[in-house]
Chains A and B, each alone.
Chain A
Amino acid sequence: MPVYERGYRHWEPSGRREAAPWWVIARRGILAPLRTRRFLALLLLAWVPAVVKGVILYFSFQAGDLMKLLGGSWSAVDAPGFFAFLEKQRGFVLIVLAIIGTPLVARDRSENGLALYFARPLTLRDYVLGKLLIVLFYFLIVTLAPVLLLALFGYLVTSGATGLDMLLLTPLRATVYCLLVGTSLGLVLLALSAAGRRTVFIAMSWLLLFAGSALVAKILALFGGPWMKLLDFPAQYEHAGSLLFGAKAPLEYPRLISCLLIAGYTVGAWAVLRRRIRPVEVVS
């Protein structure tokens, strides 16, 4: 039997891997933006509403009903109150994710990164998971993290008067909601990033999808009725999420429809990613 290799010294990695490839990608992507002062400033700005809510919470329990009246939903310490806070963070979610997410796949596609990545032992799932975690991390930083801190703060300020709901159930609801919404939004954003190469256009598409669809749906709803709000992309998440938090439904149609739409966005995004990010090209 012929022996083809000539017996050179060969090294191969020993024992367990140091880190899974998806974690290597995620870690690099999470740390890189933190070097930018402007981005750090934006993150701090995204926490301002949380600080405001914290202050209002504090004074509302110190000053009593007058402050609660003035504070409105800002002073609410129940689940719908925190849900309202999460929805108020939408603007920051839009901007932070646009900065973080739009170049994630597009830059690799235009800068030959895909060939470099996929000439290594990683799969499409590793790659997408790594990129998704980057988006998810920053989504959670501006949504879930302040909610968790506020819930703890509210519990401490009220000396436990808000009970287990504040300490456990609200954080749990917020965690489930943020993970589901963050994953879905992250995949949609990555799909947009994979669909183009120029980050400016991708960012514009993201803005149109997020803000533009809401505007168009509102205008069309004036003439075509409440079903036109099916076109409102972010409202579907709010509508479905209101169920989880026991908040008033913001849209007129059943929440199940919004859930189905969100599932559709997510599956569609995954299909786009599978098609556009190709470690191998398959000719039909």
Chain B
Amino acid sequence: MSPDIARPVTTPFPVLQARRVSKWFGEVIAVNDSSLTVGPGVTGLLGLNGAGKTTLFKLLSGLIEPSQGEVLIFGQRLRREVGLFRRIGFCPESEAMHDWLTGREFVSLMLRLMGVPGPEIAPRTAAALDRVHLADAADRRIGSYSKGMRQKIKMAQALVHDPDIIFLDEPLNGMDPVARHEIIALVKQLGAAGKTVLVSSHILPEIEEMTRNIVLIHHGKVLAEGDVTEIRDKIHDHPTIVALSAPEPRRLASFLAGRELVMGVELDERGRVVARTDHAVAFYRALPGWLLAEKLAVDEIETLDDSLQAVFDYLVGD
């Protein structure tokens, strides 16, 4: 099919699926009986150093094979169908690269390995370099690149063949704030375009800037996957704390205290009503109806502990 007459793709299979995957290195188990499904959009793969994040990332991207279980891309096993790699873009964590090549040579080499026809190599390479804001440095040797530029050239080679699934391993390492902003915007743009983007990081604010959808791994097990708020709602040991700024805080507090979904209410030093609930999603669904029925006004609602950090801390027990 010509790239000019591209077609939308649908499949009855999940884009990326791991089924009861385990991986041992000798007697050390790096990933233990983990299952997950990743769909279109940006998903953050989170975990502390040594949690098994990198191993899971490599398993999902087909670079290593599980000791048990299977990883499927569009319902097929990667290593049995090497052609599937054309639909994958992989951006490794390591900065070590082909230093003797220029950025343009490197990206075009990687594109040629995808089997892209010759006439398309130059325009696609130029477009990928432009996309990561490296067009000006494209003809310099990679050896002269800064750390941030190396990250960008790795991104370029991962995106140059327009893959469906993009694996980004710690993509913001070593980037300055401007470059970080550019790459975060690019990742969000890819997710919004329907690409499946899996971003691995141990820096929570980085992930938080890109997505609310996460896979959390700890001690080799997938602890949670899904939207951060939904995951947060399922953590019953730690009630969700919601702060509401209202013109009539005491009347609001009194009303909320009588609701079943609310476990406790108090006023904080800023005069806000602080409510605790075990069922944040149900609470948020019910709140507008309550306010309308009671003619209560609320200026601002803030969830105090559904940040990725809080969810992460609750789940890993730190």
Please choose the segment from A6-14, A162-170, A176-184 that sits at the chain B interface, where 4 or more of its residues have CB less than 8 A away: A6-14
| A111-B99, A280-B65 known; A116-B110 Cβ under 8 A | yes
Q: Within 8 Å CB of B162, what residues of A? A: 10-11
**How large, as a class, is the contact surface on chain A?**
35 or more
Q: What sequence of 0s and 1s flags, for each residue 103-144 of chain A, a beta carbon within 8 Å of any chain B beta carbon?
A: 000000011110111111111000000000000000000000
Q: Kindly state the interface size class of chain B when it binds its partner.
A: 35 or more
**Interface residue? A28 (CB, 8 A):** yes
Q: Which of A1-44 contact B (CB under 8 A)?
A: 1-15, 17-19, 21, 24-25, 28, 32
Q: Are A121 and B63 in contact (CB under 8 A)?
A: no
B22 to chain A: closest residue by CB:
A283
State A11–B159 Cα separation when bound (angstroms): 12
For residue A281, CB closer than 8 A to chain B, the reply is yes
B82, A123: Cβ atoms under 8 Å?
yes
Which B-chain residue is minimally distant from A282 (CB atoms)?
A: B65
Q: Nearest chain-B residue to A32 (Cβ)?
A: B100
Decide: A5 and B117 in contact? CB cutoff 8 A. Answer: no
A116 to B92, CA, bound (A): 8
Known interface pairs A4-B13, A120-B110, A121-B114. Does A280 touch B63 (Cβ–Cβ under 8 Å)? yes
Residue numbers in A under 8 Å from B309 (CB-CB) = none
A6–B65 CB distance below 8 A: no
CB distance from A97 to the nearest CB of B (A): 19
B64–A6 CB distance below 8 A? no
In the complex, how many angstroms separate the beta carbon of A105 from the nearest chain B beta carbon? 14
**Chain B, range 1-34, C-beta contacts under 8 Å to A:** 1-3, 6-15, 23-26
Asked whether, in the complex, the Cβ of B116 is within 8 Å of the Cβ of A13, the reply is: yes
Q: Are B3 and A11 in contact (CB under 8 A)?
A: yes
A4 with B64: CB separation less than 8 A: no
Q: What 0/1 pattern do residues 154 to 169 of B give for CB contact below 8 A with A?
A: 0001000110100100
Residues in A neighbouring B23, C-beta threshold 8 A: 283
Residues of B within 8 A of A13 (CB): 86, 114-117
Q: Which residues of B contact A212 (CB under 8 A)?
A: none
Bound: A9/B10 CA distance, A: 10
A115 to B12, CA, bound (A): 29
Residues of B within 8 A of A112 (CB): 92, 94, 96-97
Contact of B112 among A19, A111, A118 (CB under 8 A): A19
A69 to B271, CA, bound (A): 112
Closest to B6 in A: A9
Checking A3, A8, A11, A118 against B12 with a beta-carbon cut-off of 8 angstroms, the contacting residue is A3
Given known contacts A4-B39, A5-B15, A8-B195, A119 and B85 CB-to-CB distance under 8 angstroms: yes
Q: What is the CA–CA distance of A120 and B109 in the complex, to the nearest angstrom?
A: 11
**B8 contacts A8, C-beta separation under 8 Å:** yes
Bound form: Cα–Cα A12–B6 in Å: 8
Q: How far is the CB of A120 from chain B (nearest CB, A)?
A: 5
Question: What's the least CB distance linking A111 to chain B, in Å?
Answer: 4
Docked-complex contact B6 and A10, CB < 8 angstroms: yes
State A53–B81 Cα separation when bound (angstroms).
53
CA distance A7 to B39 in the complex (A): 12
> Which B residues lie at the A interface, using CB under 8 A?
1-3, 6-15, 23-26, 39-40, 61-65, 67, 79, 82-88, 90, 92, 94, 96-100, 109-110, 112-118, 121, 157, 161-162, 164, 167, 193-195
Interface residues of A (CB under 8 A from B): 1-15, 17-19, 21, 24-25, 28, 32, 110-113, 115-123, 279-283
Given A11-B6, A24-B109, 14 other A-B contacts at CB below 8 A? A4-B40, A5-B9, A5-B194, A8-B9, A10-B6, A11-B161, A13-B115, A19-B115, A32-B100, A116-B110, A116-B157, A121-B113, A121-B114, A282-B65
Subset of 19 A-B contacts with CB under 8 Å: A4-B10, A4-B14, A7-B194, A10-B6, A11-B161, A11-B162, A17-B115, A19-B115, A25-B113, A110-B96, A112-B94, A112-B96, A115-B63, A115-B94, A116-B110, A119-B62, A119-B90, A120-B86, A122-B82
